[in-house]
Amino acid sequence: LDAMSGEVKKTQAIRIDTKVLGLTSSKTHGWELETNGGKSTWHAVILAVPAFHSAELVQSVEPQLASELQGIEYSSSAIVVSG
């Protein structure tokens, strides 16, 4: 995560470990985020959280997407075997 965020920070603003309380569409700037640090506007947003959390955040602006995200099932564990 440190290497990836270091590369992104070279050209973009990034905030990690920030709790998003609300997400709304801004007609002039893209997205408005309400976080535990206040409100800010962004041209693009990446939601790096489980689908059910993303569904809660996008419900008011993209109800169809929220519905699809809510339909994603999770299991308590997964086993991956490689090669």
Mean pLDDT, the chain cut into blocks of 10 residues (83 residues total)? 77 79 85 90 86 93 94 84 84
Structure tokens at 39: 């409100």
Cα→Cα distances 39→5, 7, 10, 72, Å: 21, 25, 23, 29
Q: Give pTM, 2 decimals.
A: 0.68
User: Torsion-angle region of residue 17: left (phi > 0), alpha (psi -120 to 50) or beta?
Assistant: left
Q: What is the pLDDT of residue 23?
A: 92
Q: What is the pLDDT of residue 47?
A: 86
Cα→Cα distances 6→13, 14, 34, 48, 71, Å: 11, 9, 24, 17, 34
Q: What is the pLDDT of residue 34?
A: 92
Q: What is the pLDDT of residue 77?
A: 80
User: Which positions ≥6 away from 19 have C-beta within 8 Å?
Assistant: 35, 36
Q: What is the pLDDT of residue 4?
A: 76
Q: What is the pLDDT of residue 78?
A: 75
Q: What is the pLDDT of residue 18?
A: 83
